[in-house]
Structure 1
């Protein structure tokens, strides 16, 4: 059975790696490092949540993932300049997908917290 958030965050991480490599090719090493750290951490924490030992642990891992997603959204906004990633072909995908991931994580976290009650 497919898991939408696991699949979305994995595909997103792959695109982030592409943007990372593009930034490094153009000499933006520190910005590239910031983007790849936050952008790949989203899916890593979602993956960890799949093996959570409790519902509370599940919520905690997804909350970390949500924070990383918000940080990633910040870096995408910072990098949305012509001389950085603004004209990169992956930028529209990254901008749209990070919004969807944040909304999905918010929904899963909210529903999971309600189920804890």
Structure 2
């Protein structure tokens, strides 16, 4: 089976987000942790859903949703970092998510150019 880099990276990112969520819960941060968990794991879920797209337009739509979720996740991670609500380093998570955004943007642009 052919490797899907963006799917693999988003899955690994989701696992890291789950661990981050657990760490945030341990430090009694309950609000932003849930936002990060939802948006951070939604990226991979939307990418997985795109594999069953009914058309190229549907495929682009699903990946666009994944991209929006990734951008939201970066926002929450940056907010968490600047607010200093918890004592957890999140810069690696931000970089990982930005890499996923770049991959999604490239895929979306390529597919749109072929429509």
**Where do 4+ consecutive residues of structure 1 move more than 2 Å?**
none
CA displacement 1:18-71 (0-9 Å, x = unmatched): 110111111111111100000000000000001111101000000000000000
Distance in 2 between residues matched to 1:72 and 1:25, nearest whole Å: 20
Q: How far off is 1:96 after superposition?
A: 1.1
Distance in 2 between residues matched to 1:12 and 1:5, nearest whole Å: 10
Matching residue of 1:56: 57
Alignment of 1:1-117 (within 5 A): 1-81=2-82, 82-85=84-87, 87-88=88-89, 91-116=90-115
Task: Give unpaired runs (5+ residues) of structure 1.
Answer: none
Task: Give unpaired runs (5+ residues) of structure 2.
Answer: none
| TM-score, normalization by structure 2 | 0.93
Distance in 2 between residues matched to 1:41 and 1:56, nearest whole Å: 20
Distance in 2 between residues matched to 1:100 and 1:92, nearest whole Å: 12
SS of equivalent residue, structure 1 residue 93: helix
SS of equivalent residue, structure 1 residue 52: coil
| TM-score, normalization by structure 1 | 0.91
